[in-house]
Amino acid sequence: MIQIKNKTLSNELYFILLAIGFSAFFSGMEIAFVSANKLRIELDKKQGIFASRIVKVFTGNGAQYISTMLVGNNVALVIYGVLMASILDPVIREYTDSEMIVLFVQTIISTLIILVTAEFLPKTLFRVNPNKILNFFSVPLWLIYYLLYPISKLTIWISSFLLKLVLKVDILDEKEQTVFSRHDLDHIIDASQPEIETKDDIEHDIKLFQNALDFSQVKLRECVVPRTELIALEISNSIDKLKQKFIESGLSKILIYKGSIDNIIGYVQSPDLFHNPKDIGSMIKSMIIVPETMPANK
């Protein structure tokens, strides 16, 4: 009888560990999906990486993926709770017969164990390199995704029905689109820099790309060119002189002044030269006057 009881206990412990493992897996994969760089996934898919093709299916159905992870996690937690109660109940009852105390102690012990092992640890670890983790577990994820598909689909439908009934919001009509954020671009650039330190040309392009990303934070006052460095031309000059100025400066726009460089009256663009203008005056475009505090990207 004792042998059977010990065998039953060992089986319960085995299934508890299994339930904790699955709960940790689902929690970790949920945070990995949320933290993953969507642009990196798209780039890996373009390169023909098989795992990224599977992950791209998940990113295209984000609500379905999250729902699947939640369903799997909840199933694992229910199994864990039932088995933990069956193990802890007789142990706690050796010290008290109060149902409230038994329930309270069971809840505290079970919650602490599951929070540490299936919430804090996996979510911290899986967030370190979410893209690699998603690729590594892509095949088992794909199997679980389609295994739990009917349940998660039903869950989404019920949630949508309740939202539409109570809040008048129809989320089923909203199409999911993969949006690449500035954070995704920054992450790609930062990750690629160590690999190209010896490649000056590529490093220069990366720097330009970074500057473009930071452009929205730049104020016009930071772009102001000192008066002595202005490249401009007097309006009375010939078209040939203007062409020469474009060639020497390498610019596509040149300021035009009348009499003194302090009297800027407009600017001209190099493409307008293809229209065979008669003089500089016929090419001039009016200047836009803006405050120096305005963002440069506006």
User: Average of pLDDT values for 94-111?
Assistant: 90
Kindly report, residue by residue over 107-119, the tens digit of the pLDDT: 999 999 999 999 9
Helix (H, G, I), strand (E, B) or coil at 126: helix
pLDDT for position 15:
92
**Which uninterrupted H or E stretch holds 233?**
strand 232-234
Q: What average pLDDT does range 263-271 have in this prediction? A: 91
CA 184, CA 38: separation in Å to the nearest integer?
7
Other beta carbons less than 10 A from residue 79's beta carbon: 17
Cα angle for residues 228, 232, 238 (degrees, 5° grid): 145
pLDDT confidence tier of residue 2, bands split at 50, 70 and 90: very low
Q: Could you tell me the pLDDT band of residue 80, with boundaries at 50, 70 and 90? A: very high
User: Mean per-residue pLDDT for 184-210?
Assistant: 56
What is the homologous superfamily of the domain 220-282 according to CATH? CBS-domain (3.10.580.10)
The chain-wide mean pLDDT, for the chain, equals 81
Domain ranges of the chain: 2-173, 182-213, 220-282
Query: What pLDDT sits at residue 1?
Result: 42
pLDDT of 208 higher than 70: no
**pLDDT in the model for residue 25:** 95
